[in-house]
Amino acid sequence: MKNFRCFPSVRLSLVLMIVSCGLVLAQEKIQPPEPPSEETLRPLIEARDSLRNAMESLRKKPELKTRDGEGWLADVAIFEKAATWMLRFQEFPKADYVDQLRSVLQKGAVRAEQLNAGNAEWSLQPGITIRGYVSDVDGSVQPYALTLPAGVNPKDGRRWPLHVVLHGRADQMNEVNFIHRMDGKPLKAESDQPEQNWIQLDVYGRGNNAYRFAGETDVFEAMNDVKRRFRIDEARITLHGFSMGGAGAWHLGLHHPDVWSSVGPGAGFVDFYRYQKKDPENSEQRLPEPQHTTLAIYDSVNYAMNAFNVPVCTYGGENDPQLLASTSMAEAAETLDVPINVIVGPKMGHAFDPESQKQFIAFHLEHSQKGRPRFGERKEIRFTTHTLRFNKCDWMTIEEVESVYEPSTVEAKITDSGDVDVTTSNVAALRLTRDVATDAIIDGTVLECRSAADGLLPDVFYVKGETGWQVLDYDESRGFGDNPEVRKRPGLQGPIDDAFMSSFVCVRGTGTPWNENVGAWSQWTLDRFAQEFAQWMRGDVRMVDDVRLDDETIANNHLVLFGDPGSNAVLSRIVDRLPITWTKEKIRIGDQEWSAGDHGVSLIFPNPLNPSKYVVLNSGHTFHEKDCRASNAWLFPRLGDIAVQNVTPVGDDQIEEKTVWAGLFDARWQLPAP
């Protein structure tokens, strides 16, 4: 590690990423030590409880019921949460993790004392400190590490560049270990390197999930928390990561290309089949539907065109199998005449060599200094997506598609005359930011862009009808998307796993199930989801009984209903407005029918009680513990939008579950014809 030459905090992050992805994984093959004894853990549990009590006292202080105060409370609460999760799941893979836990609890106690005295001493502390925020997804507190150069003061008006760094996979890393690695590390000045002039965010990402689902949301929630505390230059946000962090940088960089001044993926994976050495043309290796189709959501190789909109510099070691990610992306981009800079470390494995690292960081510092285009500066967009979850680039947003999971493409260029010339494929509705151009010429049709909708809305909406493209007037634009049951919309497009990227609540049925087997399966499914989400997404799912569900919860959350129409009052209330028939005797979907005595339904659909949110039936994440323990490439949807499960109790509160049918709704939330 002494050979690393880089700017101080960037060097530390790269070292941590490489340790995460290489050395730690090698060590995990060693037999773990005996778990700590009850005698060893007792004082640690007492210290955790003491910190929890201190937090309860702090939350009652009126002076902390402010925006800053809530942030400082989260900065303390994350130490208690870290200890609680470590104790809950007995995460002691090495003997020194007991010492790490002890140290983290001591630091949490010091912070609580400081905050009780009215002085959050860590808030502007130079170097690396741990911060926390409360996630909208589940109300949990989540950590991130923040590196501040000397002299950062939110009150002086200066806007700082931000570097967002994604760590590699580290199966032994939990919140305690993350805090232990990062908190309190100073900036080390080096005479041959320029002074650091950026703020750095090292993301925790809810552990090891390749920054997908709640892990993806974590990146943006942590960024927003940094922006809340400090003045960040939105045009100068750099993203980079290595290994799993490289996969995350490919994913977040190309799915959200208008956020970053540059993107730097190191190694990682971008194509499930190639990474797993599987052939999709081989029927024995190809995933079943709808799994095969929904890989298009996350396989970054499908989004290579989006590198046109953001500078990309990728790295891979010459002898690293994960160099395949860089070469696959470069090949895909080259066919589209899109530039991607590739650095190959000579004779290197899964690590940086000093010279390559220097080139890599220099590229991103150069583009951070330049910044991404501000409003009005970007004259051309080339953008593609396979899902409405990722649908935006700068002044262009895709609102509806014609065919789901097929590539939707928009190429738009502002002409010398001030118009914007737009060519689309598989797009049914889009919007442009007002005043980006005078007129919009969409697939040859000339439409207004500046004066449409009476100038009262920030965006102009266009829809494709039987006679071609049309611009919507003010009333039509204002009401656009009010009925998402008509078409899939951004953030309401499925599949089932999409519901767990933002705020959701699980609703338990308290009535008598129509069929005992299905009732047992529904409870088993809820218990499994709660356990797996807590362990692998690092938060507790929020739950409420069906009879206690209130209007505020319906208004602000996706609802995840467990049970059947007999046991769950909320499901009984809406089942007739869902695309299924569910009685005591049968389940019918389209022209297919199953016995209701041993089959249950999982689905996602716009909630009839609040069509701006989802309703989900009988499902959490559709991947499970085995997938979480395997490669991160296996974290993708399994059931599509709707599935029927055959369920059989097998004793000891276990259920044998078999998917007998699964499918995807089309762009109009309807099942395709057989």
pLDDT the model gives residue 5: 30
User: Residue 605 belongs to what H/E stretch?
Assistant: strand 599-607
Q: Does position 49 have pLDDT exceeding 90, yes or no?
A: yes
The secondary structure element, H or E, covering residue 484 is: none
Residue 227's pLDDT is what?
Answer: 98
DSSP reduced 3-state for 209: coil
Predicted pLDDT of residue 575: 98
The confidence score (pLDDT) of residue 16 equals: 43
> 148, 108, 145: which is closest to 124 by C-alpha?
148
Report the range of poorest mean pLDDT among 284-288, 312-316, 375-379, 580-584. Answer: 375-379
Please tell me which residue, 4 or 133, carries the higher pLDDT value: 133
Give me the pLDDT at residue 26, please.
Answer: 39
Distance (Å, rounded) from C-alpha 594 to C-alpha 571? 19
Residue pLDDT, tens place only, 612-661: 999 999 999 999 999 999 989 999 999 999 999 999 998 778 899 999 99
Q: What is the mean pLDDT of residues 53-76?
A: 96
- Euclidean distance between CA atoms 665 and 579, whole angstroms: 10
Instruction: Specify the 3-state DSSP secondary structure of 255.
Output: helix
Beta carbons of 621 and 613 less than 8 angstroms apart: no
Q: How far is C-alpha 240 from the geometric centre of its chain's CA atoms?
A: 15
Q: Is pLDDT above 60 for 65?
A: yes
Q: What's the average model confidence in pLDDT over 533-550? A: 98
pLDDT band at 478 (very low <50, low <70, confident <90, very high): confident
Percent of the chain clearing pLDDT 90 (strictly above): 85
- The tokens 């993107």 sit on which residue? 263
Tell me the average pLDDT across 458-478.
89
Lowest average pLDDT, out of 40-44, 473-477, 529-533, goes to 473-477
pLDDT value, residue 450 = 64
- Confidence band (pLDDT; 50, 70, 90) for 9? very low
**pLDDT mean over 219-238:** 98
Distance from C-alpha of 619 to C-alpha of 600, rounded to nearest angstrom:
10
For residue 6, name the pLDDT band (cuts at 50, 70, 90).
very low
pLDDT digits (tens, 9 = 90+) for 418-430: 999 999 999 999 9
Higher-scoring residue by pLDDT: 19, 356: 356
How would residue 300 be classed by pLDDT, with cut points 50, 70 and 90? very high
Write the pLDDT tens digit of every residue in 320-370: 999 999 999 999 999 999 999 999 999 999 999 999 999 999 999 999 999
| DSSP SS3 for 630 | coil
In this prediction, residue 484 carries a pLDDT of: 63
Range 567-589 average pLDDT: 97
Q: State residue 186's pLDDT score.
A: 87
Measured from the Cβ of residue 236, the count of other Cβ atoms closer than 10 Å reads 21
**CATH 3.40.50 intervals, the chain:** 8-31+124-269+349-370
CA atoms within 13 A on the CB side of 409: 14
pTM as predicted:
0.94
pLDDT the model gives residue 485:
63
Lowest-pLDDT range of 100-114, 127-141, 346-360, 471-485:
471-485
Reply yes or no on whether the pLDDT at 24 is more than 50: no
Residue 172 has pLDDT above 90, yes or no: yes
Is residue 214 within 8 A of residue 206, CB to CB? The reply is: yes
Does 15 score more than 80 pLDDT? no
Q: Which residues contact 452 (CB under 8 A, 6 or more apart)?
A: 434, 460, 471, 472, 473, 477
Dist. CA 70–CA 80, nearest whole Å: 15
% residues pLDDT > 70 (the chain): 93
Q: What's the average model confidence in pLDDT over 259-275?
A: 97
pLDDT at 457 over 80: no
Average pLDDT taken over every residue of the chain: 92
Please, which residues bridge with residue 507 across strands?
544, 561
Q: What is the pLDDT of residue 2?
A: 30
Residue 177 scores a pLDDT above 60: yes
Q: How far apart are CA 567 and CA 557, in angstroms?
A: 21
Max Cα–Cα distance, the chain, nearest Å: 78
Q: Which residue has the tokens 């960089």?
A: 253
Q: What is the spatial distance between Cα 528 and Cα 625, in angstroms, rounded to a whole number?
A: 9
Tokens of 147: 């590196």
**Mean of pLDDT values over 402-407:** 97
CA dist 252 and 209 (Å) reads 13
pLDDT at 498 over 80: yes
Residue 586's pLDDT is what?
97
pLDDT of 4 reads 28
Which is more confident, 72 or 26? 72
Judge whether residue 454 has pLDDT over 90: no
CATH for 8-31+124-269+349-370 is 3.40.50
Asked if the model's pLDDT at residue 570 lies above 80, the reply is yes
Mean pLDDT value across residues 185-198: 72
Predicted confidence at residue 190, as pLDDT, reads 58
